[in-house]
Structures are given as structure tokens and as C-alpha cells.
Amino acid sequence: MKKKILIISGGISKERAVSLETGKQVAKELNKNGYIVKITEPDFKLVDVIKSFKPNTIFNALHGQFGEDGYIQTILESVKIPYTHSGVISSAIAMDKELSKKIFIKNNILTPKYILYSFNQSKLNLINSIEKKLKFPVVVKPINEGSSVNVFICDKSNIIKNLKILKDYKRIIIEEFIPGREIQAAIIGVKKLGAIELKPKRKFYDYEAKYNSKAKTKHIIPVDLSKNDYNKIMSLALKAHKLIGCRGVTRSDFKYFRGKFYLLEINTQPGMTSLSLVPEIAAHYGINFIQLIKMILNDASTKK
Ligand SMILES: Nc1ncnc2c1ncn2[C@@H]1O[C@H](COP(=O)(O)OP(=O)(O)O)[C@@H](O)[C@H]1O
Ligand SMILES: [Mg+2]
């Protein structure tokens, strides 16, 4: 009998457009391969849609807040149908850049030094208090955003202005800026999928560099690393994936500087359009788009 897959995409996060594209492309591929597919939004009708469609598996194609942070996963646990990618707790930890950095540090995974920013902090002392712990330039970012949305590289002259833009977020981190190369590594299940280097033409790998082909970010695969360093980055990505208890596919974002890998974050719902990085890595290592989707579906579950 044909398998029924319900794809949840869209949502209310700032990555809505990317999620819709992920949903559309995964649906197209599943349709081509004989599955019965339905796409839905994660709105108040979701549980009714699940109950009437009765999918074998739910493919979570959401990104960002309410889709990647444990919220939607709680609803999917309650309907007891296997869903793809990480479960409630792992999603919540991975989405929280501060919490996940604490876990990385405790387990000897290098990550840029950081402080938590408090909006009550006096602006007069801000620069001084940052300089007690970090060197400028620094990176300011919300702890729970994605796709480089509202990530700013700051020096002393523009940090206050940039922090103002982030005033609606509850928690912000200020991190030391790590120069050097941008390399990302993907894991599926307990398998090391591979890594890719991104060379943005822009100041950093920002939203435009990620999604606008005119921004001309270069994708380099295979990555130009010694065998030893390649093994190192893949082992770090697998270690982070296991430590946080992730399921299905994850993509860990690193900076590589002076022979050291700094883990910026682990993504539990990486982009899955046919032009996204994880499918590109998979394809390079001989796993085509439908095979990758099937691997993700096979790892779907509840109770984790
Ligand atoms: N500490 C840092 N040093 C250098 N570049 C950084 C740093 N933090 C973020 N960046 C840049 O911003 C991009 C997005 O940051 P990241 O922490 O991965 O958040 P997001 O969840 O938005 O992808 C990174 O891919 C990198 O180019
Ligand atoms: Mg990232």
C-alpha cells in the first residue's frame, strides 16, 4: 500500500519562506516516488488535519521558532504519529544558542567565547563590560533565530544601534568574532554525511549570502581539509548531534581558524530544498534527494 506523508511547512517564523520551499520540494520528490502527500500549515487545524489524513509519517519541514524549537514537536508527540527530525527536548536545546553552547563547553567542544546581554544593562558601561570578557569585533545574535536573521557583526561604533534592532528578543548573546573559514557538517542518524565550505562574497554568511543566488556564495565540496582535520570536524558534528540527542538529520555550523574548529550552532531542521546544503552534501557522497528524504523518514519516531 502507498505510504501517506503529511508535510508541515510555512509557520510564523522569519524563515517561513524557506520552510515553504523545503515543503514544496520534498512533496514534489515524494509524489514522483509514489507516496501520497499532503502539505499543511502548523495552524489551529493541524490536529484535525492529522486525524482525517491519517499519515504514516509526518515530515516536519518547518524552520525557526515554533517549528524547530520543541513547540510543534510537543503537539506531534501528543498525536502519537512518527515525525521526522529531532524530538521535543533536543530541538529546544539546539535552538537555544546559549544552552547548547553551555553543553558544547562542558564537553570540550570549542565554541566562541560569549556573554549574555541584558537590556537593563547601562549603555554607558556596555563597551567596558564587553571588553572585560571579549575582544572587538563581536557578533550579536538572538539565542533562538536562524538563517542569519538579526545576526550582526559589530564594532564599538555600531553595537548600540544593532542591539536596538534586537529589542524584541528576550535573550541575546554577544560572541567573539572568529575570522577564518566557514565550514558546515551534516549528520544523519549516526552516520557522518559530509562537510561543505561556504565562501560568501558578502561580509559574512548572512541571509542574502544564504538564499540569493546573485550574492554568489561559493560552495566548495569536497572541503579542502587534511584527512585529519576532516575527521575532526565530522567527529565534532557527530559528538554534538549525540550529546543533544538529535534524530534524523542535523547540520553543524563551524568556523575554522588557525587549525581549530569553533562550533557556532547545531541545526535540527536544516533546509531541505534541492539547492540546500544538506542535499548538496548528500548528493556529493552518492545519496540523491529521494534517498536522503527516505533516510530521514526512516529515522522518524516519537518518544525522544
Ligand atoms: N562568532 C562568530 N564569528 C564569526 N562569524 C559568526 C559568528 N557567529 C555567527 N557568525 C556568522 O553568522 C552566520 C550565522 O550565525 P549562526 O550562529 O550560525 O546563526 P543562524 O542560526 O542564524 O545560522 C554564521 O554562519 C557566520 O557566518
Ligand atoms: Mg547557522
What are 31-83's pLDDT values in tens digits? 999 999 999 999 999 999 999 999 999 999 999 999 999 999 999 999 999 99
Residue with CA nearest ligand 1 atom 17: 264
Provide the percentage of residues in the chain whose pLDDT is more than 90: 87
Is residue 184 within 8 Å of 251, Cβ to Cβ?
yes
Instruction: Report H helices in 1-53.
Output: 16-32, 46-53
The yes-or-no verdict on residue 304 having pLDDT over 70 is no
| H-helix or E-strand spanning residue 172 | strand 172-176
Q: pLDDT category, 268, cuts 50, 70, 90?
A: very high
The values of phi and psi at residue 114, to 5°, are -155, 165
Q: What share of the chain is helix, strand, coil (3-state, %, to 5)?
A: 35, 25, 40
Cα–Cα distance, 238 to 69 (Å, whole number): 20
Q: Which residues are catalytic?
A: 15, 147, 211, 251, 253, 265, 267, 271
Which atom, in ligand 1's list, is nearest to the CA of 138? 1
Is residue 243 within 8 Å of 103, Cβ to Cβ?
yes
**Is any atom of ligand 1 closer than 6 Å to the C-beta of 56?**
no
Is residue 42 within 8 Å of 48, Cβ to Cβ?
no
Question: Tell me, what amino acid is at 175?
Answer: E
The yes-or-no verdict on residue 286 having pLDDT over 60 is yes
pLDDT for 255: 98
pLDDT for 125: 83
| Mean of the per-residue pLDDT values of the chain | 95
The yes-or-no verdict on residue 123 having pLDDT over 90 is no
The yes-or-no verdict on residue 254 having pLDDT over 90 is yes
**Is any atom of ligand 1 closer than 6 Å to the C-beta of 112?**
yes
pLDDT for 58: 98
Residue with CA nearest ligand 1 atom 26: 205
Sheet holding 181-188, edge to edge: 218-220, 191-199, 181-188, 249-257, 260-267
pLDDT for 119: 76
Residue with CA nearest ligand 1 atom 25: 205
Rounded mean pLDDT of 18-22? Answer: 95
Cα–Cα distance, 204 to 81 (Å, whole number): 40
The per-residue pLDDT for range 92-110, each reduced to its tens digit, is 999 999 999 999 999 999 9
**Is any atom of ligand 1 closer than 6 Å to the C-beta of 175?**
yes
Pocket test for ligand 1, best of 174, 199, 264, 266 (most atoms within 8 A of CB): 264
- The β-bridge relationship of strands 249-257 and 260-267 is antiparallel
Which atom, in ligand 1's list, is nearest to the CA of 175? 1
State the helix-helix crossing angle for 16-32 and 289-298, rounded to 10 degrees: 100
Bridge partner list, 219: 198
Which atom, in ligand 1's list, is nearest to the CA of 253? 18
Pocket test for ligand 1, best of 96, 144, 197, 204 (most atoms within 8 A of CB): 204
| H-helix or E-strand spanning residue 74 | helix 71-79
- Return the SS3 of 139: strand
Q: Measured in angstroms, how far is the CA atom of residue 41 from the centroid of ligand 2?
A: 24
In this structure, which ligand is nearest to the CA of 251? 2
pLDDT for 302: 83
pLDDT for 215: 85
**Is any atom of ligand 1 closer than 6 Å to the C-beta of 257?**
no
Domains and CATH numbers, the chain: 4-85 (3.40.50.20), 94-109+179-298 (3.30.470.20), 114-176 (3.30.1490.20)
**Is any atom of ligand 1 closer than 6 Å to the C-beta of 271?**
no
Show the CA angle centred on residue 19, arms to residues 238 and 174, nearest 5°.
60
pLDDT for 193: 98
Confidence (pTM): 0.95
In this structure, which ligand is nearest to the CA of 68? 1
pLDDT for 214: 85
Rounded mean pLDDT of 202-217? Answer: 89
In this structure, which ligand is nearest to the CA of 209? 1
Cell of residue 299, nine digits: 529515522
Rounded mean pLDDT of 271-279? Answer: 88
Cell of residue 2, nine digits: 502507498
The per-residue pLDDT for range 218-244, each reduced to its tens digit, is 999 999 999 999 999 999 999 999 999
